[in-house]
Amino acid sequence: MTKIKLLNALLIVLIAITLLFTLTMVVLYISSPTLRAAFSNSIYAHIALCIIFFYAQLFVKQSLTYFIRHNYFNDKSTLYLQWGGYALLIFTVLAPVNGVINGDPIEIEDIFINILLLVTFLTISIGILAVADIVKNGTQIKQENDLTI
Amino acid sequence: MKRLGLLKTLTTILLVISGIAMFFAVPFVLVVAFLPGSVPFDINGTKAADASVESILVLAFTVIGYAFDVYALYLFKKVLELFEKKKIFHDDVIKHFDQIGKAIIIGYVVMAVPAVLYKMLVEGSVALSVDFDFDETLLTLGLGLFFMVLSEVFLIAKGLKEENDLTV
């Protein structure tokens, strides 16, 4: 339980940082005419991406909260893990698409790192979905077990 | 379980890319350390021949930390292979998940601590960056802990499954 509580606390800090980053981005955009001119086409897409990432973290955090409350296996944890996995998958797919649409400059030396990051995030998001399937399996076993006297 | 195939393919791709990088990284560090004059390009804007012992050590620790990450990825692939064989709540899976979590955390510490010490002692910069670096630290530690939590979850599930199987 200590590890899961620590992970929950880490996710809370991460969510707070994501929120803070999004708010700072919005405030800077509103207050600076230079930034407004530079990011006029992409600001909404960036905010949307931040919100999707925020929700992905929030869903995983909710899943952990239910893990702690209901002693690991329960339906709500499975559901939140699935939502978290899908949200992270959408974020992973949309982030490079947004970069391409906005014509972000691609440095040749960064291509390798970008591909590695993309595949890593894809693996993490599909990994979360696979874990959700396994937790679902565990929940069924637990329910069967609880029904057996 | 339907996503397992895709996950295994992605993990294999990641493992191959990381393996190739590792294949070149180890000889590269050795060349920088012992034959710096033969490196034809600059490293972070400085010539390899001018690289200090401290910066070579940081580079070496980065490669060691990266090796831990590759090992974690290899274990993850092994876990997925066990899942394919329908060995889900198995002792090996529990052990591998715990080792993956530890490898990720140790790898990050091995990479981050020398880099921070280098910045503090050699470059004299003690500023804590609260941008992507901090975010990256939390994400990596979170990922490591996530696998260790998974190990605990699987241990409990294994107990439940054994109880269930014993009940007629």
The dihedrals phi and psi of B46, each to the nearest 5 degrees, come to -120, 150
Q: Residue A77: its chain B contacts at CB < 8 A?
A: none
3-state secondary structure chain B: CCCHHHHHHHHHHHHHHHHHHHHHHHHHHHHHHHCHHHCCCEECCEEHHHCCHHHHHHHHHHHHHHHHHHHHHHHHHHHHHHHHCCCCCCHHHHHHHHHHHHHHHHHHHHHHHHHHHHHHHCCCCCCCCCCHHHHHHHHHHHHHHHHHHHHHHHHHHHHHHHHHHHCC
Choose between B11 and B120: higher pLDDT.
B11
pLDDT at res. B110 = 92
Q: What is the largest CA-CA distance in chain B?
A: 73
Share of chain A above pLDDT 70, in %: 94
Closest to B157 in 3D by CA, of A88, A12, A77: A77
Altogether, the residues listed in chain B come to a count of 168
CA B118 to chain A, closest CA, distance in angstroms equals 23
**Mutate which of A63, A131, A146 to test chain B, going by most B C-beta atoms within 10 A?**
A131
Choose between A114 and A127: higher pLDDT.
A127
Q: Residue A24: its chain B contacts at CB < 8 A?
A: none
Q: For residue range A46-68, what is the model confidence (pLDDT) as tens digits?
A: 888 889 999 999 999 999 898 88
CA A138 to chain B, closest CA, distance in angstroms equals 6
Using the beta-carbon criterion (under 8 Å), do B167 and A148 form an inter-chain contact? yes
Position B83 pLDDT exceeds 70? yes
ipTM > 0.95, yes or no: no
pLDDT at res. B2 = 66
- Report the predicted TM-score, pTM, of the whole model to 2 decimal places: 0.80
β-pair partners for B46: B43
pLDDT at res. B125 = 65
Using the beta-carbon criterion (under 8 Å), do B152 and A3 form an inter-chain contact? yes
SS3 A46: helix
Domain ranges of chain B: 4-166
Tokens 């699987």 map to which residue? B154
Position B74 pLDDT exceeds 90? yes
CA B154 to chain A, closest CA, distance in angstroms equals 8
b/e map A50-81, b = 16+ CB within 10 Å: bebbbbbbbbbbbbbbbbeeeebbbeebbbbb
Average pLDDT over residues A108-117: 75
Cα Rg, chain B, nearest whole Å: 20
Q: Residue A119: its chain B contacts at CB < 8 A?
A: 10, 13-14, 17
Interface residue A54 vs chain B (CB under 8 A): no
